[in-house]
Amino acid sequence: MKFDFIKNSGKFFTISAVLIGIILVMTVVVGPQLDIQFKGGSIVTYSYEGDLDIPAFESAVQELTVQDVSFQQSTDLNSGAKTIIVSMPGSQSLNSQQMEQLTEGVRTQFAANNPQTMSISNVDATIGKEFLAKCITAVALASVLMVIFVAFRFRKIGGLSAGIMAVIALMHDIIVVFGVFIIVPIPINDNFIAVILTILGYSLNDTIVIYDRIRENKRLMGAKSSVEDLVNTSINQSFRRSMNTSITTIMAMVVVTVVAWLYNVTSILSFSFPMILGLAAGTYSSICIAGPLWVRWQQRSLSRKAA
């Protein structure tokens, strides 16, 4: 069985273009939501016992802080403890004294419910912005190093063009991961950067296995065969491997996602769920975008040479 990836490449490009279009529109409409890690702010999680008078609790917290506070209730499946998450976005985060006052106040006013601080996350806006800039630099650095690496290793099959095509496929994957964070929505935090970088490495790995096959087949098939044929054969030969590796990797991450969801481990959930879709996008882009795109590039430069 042989599927013609090159002939169908128009369809793939359309699917991807539409997908990217939807994500961009959503981004403009919804707007990306930065985690307090990047924009600064405070989030406190209190556990409590018994029935908490939520409206009273909310107004008490409002009184103790001067900010726009939002509340979210949840249950920790592991300990069975009921929790309430207090978020204070805004550039003015609470310093430790104010935080202590808040906790003291809550504890005295709701002593019957025995509120305990489960977790605090408080980020200074300046440090947050700096951290965001550092993360973006990290992603840019990774992308540049990848192009250089691919260009060097695949110089025999037109390294630079191969590198650039691979990176276009990578951008595609980054946008998909970004889209997951926008649409779900998950606040963009350091997990986002970890997922992006991992997907960069994974997706490029996928692309490289295909390029490697092209490199080998170019030697075996000789100059007679056309670029389309060469790339198509290579994609088909490595197709089963691409799929099976994706299956095992995605399977591992699905298990993590399900367990993290069951046990309410949010810090992992916002990591593993986008990872699944990123892995899927990475496999898709390596097979359906990087190779076919490279064929178009080669055809164009060939026809330019002929003219």
Interface residue with other proteins, options 237, 296, 297, 299 (CB under 8 A): 237
Contact between residue 38 and residue 129 where contact means Cβ atoms under 8 Å apart: yes
Nearer to other proteins, 53 or 130 (CB): 130
Residue 275, interface with other proteins (CB under 8 A)?
yes
Interface residue with other proteins, options 13, 71, 149, 297 (CB under 8 A): 149
Residue 52, interface with other proteins (CB under 8 A)?
no
Q: Is 78 left (phi over 0), alpha (psi -120 to 50) or beta?
A: alpha
Give the Cα separation of 126 and 88 in Å (integer): 16
Q: Which residues contact 119 (CB under 8 A, 6 or more apart)?
A: 43, 44, 45
Map the footprint of other proteins across residues 288-307, applying CB under 8 A. Answer: none
Map the footprint of other proteins across residues 65-84, applying CB under 8 A. Answer: 76-79, 81
Nearest approach, Cβ of residue 14 and other proteins (Å) = 28
Give the Cα separation of 158 and 299 in Å (integer): 12
Token pair of 59 as six digits: 């107004």
Nearer to other proteins, 206 or 228 (CB): 206
Nearer to other proteins, 255 or 302 (CB): 255
x/- mask, other proteins, residues 191-230, rule CB under 8 A, reads x-xx--xx-xxx-xxx-xx--xx-xx--------------
Give the Cα separation of 304 and 108 in Å (integer): 79
Reduced DSSP (H G I as helix, E B as strand, rest coil) percent helix, strand, coil of the chain, to 5? 70, 10, 20
Nearest approach, Cβ of residue 53 and other proteins (Å) = 23
Nearer to other proteins, 286 or 298 (CB): 286
Nearest approach, Cβ of residue 20 and other proteins (Å) = 23
Map the footprint of other proteins across residues 86-145, applying CB under 8 A. Answer: 93-97, 99-100, 103, 116-124, 127, 130-131, 133-135, 137-138, 141-142, 145
Nearest approach, Cβ of residue 122 and other proteins (Å) = 5
Nearest approach, Cβ of residue 247 and other proteins (Å) = 7
Give the Cα separation of 147 and 245 in Å (integer): 23
Residue 11, interface with other proteins (CB under 8 A)?
no
Going from the C-alpha of 22 to that of each of 25, 175, 180, 184, the distances in angstroms are 5, 11, 11, 14
Token pair of 257 as six digits: 């996602």
Give the Cα separation of 182 and 281 in Å (integer): 16
Residue 255, interface with other proteins (CB under 8 A)?
yes
Residue 283, interface with other proteins (CB under 8 A)?
no
